[in-house]
Amino acid sequence: MKTDIILAGVGGQGILTIAAAIGFATLSEKMFVKQSELHGMSQRGGAVQSHLRLSDQPVASDLIPMGCADLILSVEPMESLRYLPYLNPGGCLVTNSVPYLNIPNYPEEKTIHDAVKSLPNYIWINADEIARECGSIKSSNIVMLGAASRFINLPFSALQEGVRQVFGRKGDEIVTMNLKALEAGQQAAALKP
């Protein structure tokens, strides 16, 4: 069993935190993992992506081949579409619906929504709003992790453990808020077809 995940977003939106939480989650499950990311120039408000591969077998390539991703998990709607060539025919696109507007020529939001809706498998969620209800908009990345959790081959409890590991240093309050965000994301996605 393997799960190949493309994480997408804009520098500073916390996709590497999602990757770290999944990474910790796999440790408790004795799985093989490879996670590739780009640093440096790409962190300055530019498009960022990370390839995350989980498997019960050793993983060869650090990069996911095109057409092989089981999941595109994006914290920004336009960025979710950038990596479509990586998605496999049965794969799912899970994205936050709130655009990150730092460029002058951002497409119409409806155009983006329509393109997402045209896919056979997708989840479109306002993660910012859900995160705000959980205590802070900063947790919208973890809301998205929760929303995508059923497509990731790991028990939900392992993801909870991953979130605890990632935020442990920041204190109980932050951990509790992010666990709430994780669950809220999962529930919000469960309501979608």
Residues that bind another protein (CB under 8 A): 10-11, 23, 27, 32-47, 51, 59-69, 78-79, 81-89, 91, 102-103, 105-107, 111-112, 115, 119, 170
Rg (the chain; Cα; Å): 15
Using the minimum distance from each CB to another protein, give the nearer residue, 106 or 192: 106
Find the shortest distance in angstroms from Cβ 94 to another protein: 15
Q: How many residues comprise the chain?
A: 193
Least CB distance to another protein at residue 144 (A): 18
CB of 191 to another protein, least distance (A): 25
Residues 6+ positions from 9 with CB-CB distance below 8 Å: 15, 47, 48, 49, 74, 75, 76, 79, 100, 141
> In DSSP terms, which residues pair with 51 in a beta bridge?
6, 36
- 142 CB-contact burial (10 Å; exposed 0-12 / middle 13-18 / buried 19+): buried
The answer to whether 53 and 4 are in contact (CB under 8 A) is yes
Shortest CB 182 distance to another protein, Å: 20
Spatial neighbors of 171 by CB under 8 A, at least 6 apart, are: none
The neighbouring-strand residues paired with 94 are: 73, 123
| Cβ proximity to another protein, 61 vs 187, nearer residue | 61
CB of 193 to another protein, least distance (A): 19
The first and second tokens of residue 34, run together, are 């490879």
Using the minimum distance from each CB to another protein, give the nearer residue, 12 or 133. Answer: 12
Q: Which of 68, 96, 101 is nearest to 185 (CA)?
A: 96
Q: How far apart are CA 27 and CA 33, in angstroms?
A: 9
- Min dist CB 190 to another protein, Å, is 25
- 78 versus 131: smaller Cβ distance to another protein: 78
Can you read off the two tokens belonging to residue 79? 């960025």
Q: Which is nearer to another protein, 56 or 62 (CB)?
A: 62
Nearer Cβ to another protein, position 139 or 186? 139
